[in-house]
Amino acid sequence: MTIEFKISWLDDDIAMYRDTVIRFVESEMLPQDAIARARGHVGHALWRRAGEVGLLCSDIPEAYGGGGGDFRHEAVFYDAMARRGLTGMSPSVHSIVAHYLLNHGTEVQKQRYLPQMARGELVGAIAMTEPGTGSDLQAVRTRAERRGDGYVINGAKTFITNGYLAGLVLVVAKTDPTQRARGTSILIVETAHDEGFRVGRVLDKIGLKAQDTSELFFDDVTVPADRLLGGVEGHGFFQLMSDLPYERTIIGVMAAAAIEGAYAATVAYVREREAFGQAIAEFQNTKFKLAEIASVATVARTFVDRCVTDLVAGSLDATTAAMIKLWASEQQGKVMDECLQLHGGYGYMNEYLIARMYADARIQRIYGGTNEIMKEVISRAL
């Protein structure tokens, strides 16, 4: 008997869509991953191919060029990538950006950007973090100053996912620097056209080697007033807060899938590899470790599936979303460590999936709000 981690929300339609996703991941993403890791980004062509196949913005309404599905369609893409350790392209951040536009943008903003994002012609990024502030988002210093019929943006952002390839950046900035939350707004920057915008370094990280996480600079970037997300100043912080359950569930989905992917790779490895005249799989320690990992994977799957189902139903609360982000990312870190250990020295080699998964897992406890911030959020509900 083999242990299966069945996804509870797969109906026939989603399962069929998932087959298309897996085919794309296996035949078009996986073969390019080594090149993307060496280069530091996946390139625009892959984004456009994902758009052509219909994998981007799959839960955005068809009226705006999206797939007209729900979060389950998004989740199967993140799941398929995470199982295979593919962390270069971030369709999740792209989708988060699309949702800011969908949920908070004006009709003109939605019509203008969402179809291009669904086609993969415009890659999305969200620029909150600055060299001087991350967790304390209300303390951002990037300034968007109203001048005439536009805004002039000045500031610096760092650690921005999809930053090098992005065509559209949502910039979190102060329209009123005397206020914290109420002085915060989100401005849309079109990187191809807006003068004064500049990408700095594509950052050298311990993992996510194929991900173009970058520094961004804004020097007197002048944008028309209709680039203010939603058209009203001071709403930025509240816009960011309202979409958090969506973002944190994504991290849970990726963690559960990575755990299952690492488990599968490790089971295959320990059956093959021998020591002291028997397969590594035969040692009691190996069996016990794998039994523990399979149990964690089962619990993770159950909790993540509940969050996905609640999110689709519109009933996922911010506290539970913080819990899934916190718990699943912590488990992911522990499981990657155990699985690497079972690979011995080969587990430390980047050519092995488990080595890359180990390094990639570390960030899951930091981005999307650090796990300490998740505990803050949860403790507010105690």
Residue numbers annotated as active site = 247
CA gap 370, 106 in Å, rounded? 31
Half-sphere exposure of 207 (CA within 13 A, CB side): 18
Minimum Å distance from CB 71 to ligand FAD? 19
The size of the interface with ligand FAD (CB under 6 A), counted in residues, is 21
Q: Kindly state whether residue 229 participates in binding ligand FAD, applying the rule CB under 6 A.
A: no
Of the candidate spans 3-11, 36-44, 129-137, 246-254, the one that interacts with ligand FAD by CB under 6 A turns out to be 129-137
Tell me the three state secondary structure of residue 309: helix
234: left (phi over 0), alpha (psi -120 to 50) or beta: left
Q: Kindly state whether residue 129 participates in binding ligand FAD, applying the rule CB under 6 A.
A: yes
Binding mask 179-218 for ligand FAD (x = CB under 6 A): --------------------------x--x----x-----
| Contacts of ligand FAD in 70-99 (CB under 6 A) | 93
**Quick one: 91 or 369, whose CB is closer to ligand FAD?**
369
Minimum Å distance from CB 233 to ligand FAD? 20
Alpha carbon of residue 84 to chain centroid: 15
Give buried/exposed letters for 26-47 (b at 16+ CB in 10 A, else e): eeebeebbeebbeebbbbeebb
CA gap 51, 123 in Å, rounded? 10
| Contacts of ligand FAD in 107-126 (CB under 6 A) | 126
Pairing of strands 168-174, 124-127: parallel
Q: Kindly state whether residue 250 participates in binding ligand FAD, applying the rule CB under 6 A.
A: no
**Quick one: 173 or 270, whose CB is closer to ligand FAD?**
173
**What CA–CA distances, in Å, run from 266 to 279, 304, 362?**
13, 22, 19
Q: Where are the beta strands (DSSP E) in 99-228?
A: 124-127, 143-147, 150-160, 168-174, 184-190, 197-202, 214-224
**Quick one: 359 or 373, whose CB is closer to ligand FAD?**
373
| Contacts of ligand FAD in 320-379 (CB under 6 A) | 363, 366-367, 369-370, 372-373, 376
Among the listed residues 32, 58, 161, 185, the single contact to ligand FAD using CB under 6 A: 161
CA gap 225, 42 in Å, rounded? 33
- Name the closest residue to ligand FAD (Cβ): 134
Binding region for ligand FAD (CB under 6 A): 93, 126-129, 134-135, 159-161, 205, 208, 213, 363, 366-367, 369-370, 372-373, 376
